[in-house]
Amino acid sequence: MLLSIRGRPRRRSRSGCAISAALPAQPRAEPLRLVSRIVAASIARPWLTIGLALALTLAGIVFASGHFDMTTDTAALISPDVDWRRQERAMENAFPQLRDATLIVIDGATPELAEDGAARLAERLAADKRHFRRVTRPDGGAFFNSEGLLFASTGEVRAATAALVDAQPLLGPLAADPGLGGTLTALGAMLDGVEHGDATLDRIDRPVRALADAIDAKLAGRPAFFSWQALFAGDHGATRPPLRRLILAQPVLDHTALMPGEAAAGAVDAAARELGLDPAHGVTIRLTGEVPLADEEFATLSENMGLVGLVMLLAMLATLWFAVRSVRLVAIILATIVAGLVVTCAIGLAAVGRFNLISVAFIPLFVGLGVDFGIQICVRFNAERAGGADPATALRAAAAALGAPLLLAAGAIFLGFGAFLPTAYVGIAELGVIAGLGMIVALAFSLTLLPALVMVLPPGPPRREVGFAGMAPVDRFLERRRAAVLWAFALSMAVSIALLPLVRFDFNPLHLRDPHAPAMRALADLTRDPDRTPNTIDVLARDPVEAHALAARLTALPEVGQVVTLDSFVPEDQPAKLALIGDASMLLDLTLNPFETAPPAADEALAAPLPGLAARLRAAAAGAPGKGAADAVRLADALQRLAAAGPATRAAVSAMLSQPLKVMLGQTRAALGAQPVTLDSLPADLRRDWIAPDGRVRMQVFPKGDGNDNRVITRFRAAVAAVTPAISGLPVATQAAAGTVAGAFIQAGLIALALVSLLLFLVLRDVREVAFTLAPVVLSGFLTLGTCVIIGQPINFANIIAFPLLFGVGVAFHIYFVMAWRGGATALLQSSLARAVLFSALATGTAFGSLWLSHHPGTASMGKILMISLAWTLVCALIFEPALLGPPRRKGDIRPMPFPPASR
């Protein structure tokens, strides 16, 4: 078949490439002569080139191993100079104790277990100066133990104190003998009232039922926990005892470790084990907060990196094999990639100092894009070898033919990522620096080390077709049905544009984390707790006067649930509450503070009254129908079985009752000793959490409604921001980050489009050819976004990097076709160029697609979007681009090629 180039007849080789007749020499640009000279020098002195590359690689290993650093802090992805980050920094500077926080969540099966666990763990951690700088209890400690009742309403204080007074007959025996003996004495006193007609079984049903449940569970070998506090306090109102307590700790961070807070987290786990704070004992300890989340992020990233790397390697090997059909060429390309990756890692660390959650993606990025250069050169090398050229000649011809496209491709990728440098999206800006430098390294190694290795390990000539002769029908179809193909793509673009309003942007950095990881589960649990939700906004006021005015305005907002300031820790209506507490304290003083406390009773003394109490319970139940009677029989049966059990069982039941009793009695004594609270009497640590040394005041604003609903949080943040710009906190970071990232991509997109268009025009000197190169890139972008809508995939902090990558790779692939077409080539899908582009895309896709297997949601979504974008890029390159280009230019229209076609 004859193909026409510039009016001269051409034959197609068995490789499928267009073969030119003798052509007049074309002038070469200086950069292209430099490319040819570099390749020629590498071929002439292959061992020297390999030695220099090896030395450079070893130097990169030494530097990278000594300077490796990575941050998993999602806040580091945004420039610290944007307004909301400055407000965040101002808050941290005023209240540094809130920075680098670890929040320890203590959940107890009973209120006593939660309080006792928090108190003992906080005391142990506060003494551990090696691992913790500061340990506080934001919802507990001496102040809240003694003054906590004052924060309830007057009615709730009246009800709580009345309940304590009513329980005086029970409290007396319990305080005098805090164990099974005292409990049995108190039970006997209650039965006395029933037998004398002063009470009914229904009235004492609550303690009877609780004792029956606990003793039954203990005798059955099930976990059994008893709460006196819940028994006396009731189930409703502010006096309801909490099952959750918090400890706020500032760990000593080891910044030389990949997980700086790992040692502190280990210290918490060790302390909890030593103190017996575990689910078997009714206590669950969980960590969350800034430090555990960051450490967990890195752990999730590295969790199955071995599998991801293995899949990437195997897929890459298979792709390279099908591309070049030579074990030696596969090994040469891999060696070139590994050496370039090491050097890029070192250069990247030298340039930006450390990697972040996004810039670390330079690894698959370098592999995917760097292998493109190797495939292009090796496939063209095979095509030249198929025509009978020796290895040196084939390499020179490949360099001459591909010099301009490779330089343009590397330049386009460099500019595409470099466009993020002026933006506030530091994560991708740093990735752009590393990736841009990596493209220079990849191209340099592909033009030096790769040819040198080919000369040292020369592969044999290809035994099979280098091009795709079987694609001839597709070429003819695209030629005959060009208009229909273009209309089909135009329709698909119109549909994608129509779907754009449905694209979901989710720039909440928490959604990049593994929701099943312990710290994330604890955080999600807290967001469902309205009193402890992390979705609060911190407001910084210049002084107390401004704080008071802002608090009044914020409280009036319908989106705000409450505003907490230092004034919030001074209870209202104190005289009335203190009077109620004082009366109860006077009545209960001797009851709660007996002159003598009985020593632990012997087992015989514990076992002796059990049968008698069981008999009395059955007798009382016999004449009293109702639920109270049924529970009395259940307790009688439990006591009868307890009497028949061994001493160890009775000792275990006694411990089950006595341990929470001691906690409850201690809290009751502290609460009945409440004193007037003023701003001046507040603890110094508490004051420091709300007022800075320079007089600035911190306020905490809680949302009204569901704190897990993004719409609620969006309205909440907007309402607070309308009152004051001096805000920070999780809702501010998540909402403002979305605007910052969106703005960065718009800015970078315009810059990249302008720079790449200028680069293409400087080389191609034709607006139409520039459009031919960029139009498929734009189309693939719209198709990727449309696909995201269809599959329900949101765009987030991590996977959004697919779009600058798509831009760079797309421009590179289309440059190859446009420059071949402008030289007069036809039957593009049958050529070795199509083979190189296809397998290059597959190699890049496997490099990034393997990230889809990551357990880290952000990384996995990155791999997914990159696979989708590369698939559409390949479709646009192999189908849309040839149809768009159409037949080659007529003889008078063909512009001189920037490189001469290789001759066979």
Q: What is the reported pLDDT for 795?
A: 85
Query: What count of Cα atoms within 13 Å lies in the side-chain half-sphere of residue 244?
Result: 14
Dist. CA 254–CA 256, nearest whole Å: 5
Beta sheet of 283-288, edge-to-edge order: 132-136, 244-251, 102-108, 283-288
Give Cα 465 distance to the centre of its chain. Answer: 47
How far is CA 86 from its chain centroid?
Answer: 23
Q: What integer pLDDT is reported at residue 890 of this predicted model? A: 53
Query: What is the rounded average pLDDT of the residues 32-36?
Result: 74
pLDDT tens, position by position, 13-30: 333 343 332 333 333 445
CB 297 within 8 A of CB 357: yes
Q: What distance lies between CA 172 and its chain's CA centroid?
A: 54
Higher pLDDT, 850 or 756: 756
In the DSSP assignment, the letter for residue 876 is I
Q: What is the pLDDT at residue 255?
A: 67
Digit-coded pLDDT (tens) for 665-718: 998 999 999 999 999 999 998 999 999 999 999 999 999 887 777 788 889 999
Q: How confident is the model at residue 771 (pLDDT cuts 50, 70, 90)?
A: confident
**Contact present, 94 and 728 (Cβ < 8 Å):** no
Residue 834 has pLDDT above 60, yes or no: yes
For the cut 50, the answer to whether the pLDDT of residue 158 exceeds it is yes
Residues 6+ apart with CB under 8 A from 573: 154
Pairwise CA distance, residues 884 & 777, whole Å? 12
Q: Token digits for 551? A: 């608090």
Residue 279 has pLDDT above 90, yes or no: yes
Which H or E run includes 5? strand 2-5
Share of the chain above pLDDT 70, in %: 91
Amino acid at 577: K
Specify the pLDDT at position 524.
84
Question: 122-143: per-residue pLDDT in tens?
Answer: 999 999 999 999 999 988 888 9
Neighbours of 56 (CB within 10 A): 18
Residue 385 exposure: Cα atoms within 13 Å on the Cβ side: 23
Distance (Å, whole) CA 357 – CA 336: 26
For 349-403, what is each residue's pLDDT tens digit? 998 888 877 787 777 778 777 888 888 888 888 888 888 889 999 999 888 888 7
Q: pLDDT for 556-611, tens place per residue?
A: 999 999 999 999 999 999 999 999 999 999 999 888 888 788 788 888 888 999 99
Largest CA distance in the chain: 124
* SS3 per-residue string spanning 777-801: HHHHHHHHHHHHHHHCCCECCCHHH
Number of CB atoms found within 10 A of residue 820's CB = 23
Task: Answer yes or no: is pLDDT of 41 > 50.
Answer: yes
Closest CA to 208 of 183, 233, 229, 225: 183
Higher pLDDT: 228 or 827? It is: 228
Q: What one-character-per-residue DSSP string does 196-264 give?
A: TTSS-TTTTHHHHHHHHHHHHHHHTTS-----HHHHHH-SSSTTSPPSEEEEEEEE---TTSSSTTHHH
- How many whole angstroms separate alpha carbon 750 and alpha carbon 753? 5
Q: Per-residue pLDDT for 202 more than 50?
A: yes
Res 293: pLDDT: 86
Q: What six digits make up the tokens of 545? A: 């006067």
Interhelix angle 111-126/647-671, nearest 10 degrees: 80
Q: Cβ–Cβ contacts within 10 Å for residue 489, how many?
A: 20
Strand order of the β-sheet with 2-5 is: 2-5, 8-12, 18-19
Task: Report the alpha-carbon distance of residue 403 to residue 418 in Å, rounded.
Answer: 22
pLDDT in tens, 99-125: 888 999 999 999 999 999 999 999 999
**Cα 892 to chain centroid, rounded:** 58
Alpha-carbon distance of 440 to 303, in angstroms, equals 31
Helix (H) or strand (E) holding 43: helix 30-44
Element (H, E) at 286: strand 283-288
Q: Is there a contact between 414 and 346 (Cβ–Cβ < 8 Å)?
A: no
Structure tokens at 654: 């006694």
Average pLDDT value for residue range 172-195: 87
- Closest CA relative to residue 896, chosen from 13, 36, 5: 5
Does residue 429 contact residue 421 with C-beta atoms inside 8 Å? yes
- DSSP run (H or E) holding 549: helix 544-555
Evaluate if residue 268 carries a pLDDT over 90.
yes
CB 402 within 8 A of CB 815: no
d(CA 395, CA 391): 6
- Residue ranges of E strands in 526-617: 537-541, 560-564
If we measure between CA atoms, which residue out of 614, 616, 619 comes closest to residue 637? Answer: 614
Q: Look up residue 880 and give its two tokens.
A: 């849309």
Task: Indicate if the pLDDT at residue 70 is higher than 80.
Answer: no
Whether the per-residue pLDDT at 451 is higher than 90: the answer is yes
What DSSP state is assigned to residue 877? I
Dihedral over alpha carbons 210, 216, 221, 225 (to 10 degrees):
10
pLDDT at position 902 is 39
Weakest mean pLDDT among 303-317, 604-618, 628-642, 643-657: 303-317
Domains of the chain: 29-73+299-508+735-885 (1.20.1640.10), 170-235+576-671 (no CATH)
> Residue 249 in contact with residue 130, Cβ under 8 Å?
no
At residue 686, what is the residue type? L
Between CA 90 and CA 259 the distance in angstroms is 26
The residue-averaged pLDDT of 756-779 equals 85
* Mean pLDDT across 459-463: 80
Average pLDDT, the chain: 83
Which of the two residues, 218 and 862, has the higher pLDDT score?
Answer: 218
- The partner residues of 370 in beta bridges, in order of sequence, read none
Q: Is the separation of the CB atoms in 774 and 757 below 8 Å?
A: yes
Note the pLDDT of residue 190: 87
Average pLDDT over residues 200-210: 86
- Selection from 87, 520, 121 nearest residue 290 by Cα: 520
Task: Return the pLDDT at 802.
Answer: 73
Query: What would the 3-class secondary structure string for 696-760 be?
Result: CEEEEEEECCCCCCHHHHHHHHHHHHHHCCCEECHHHHHHHHHHHHHHHHHHHHHHHHHHHHHHH
> How many Å apart are CA 317 and CA 331, to the nearest integer?
9
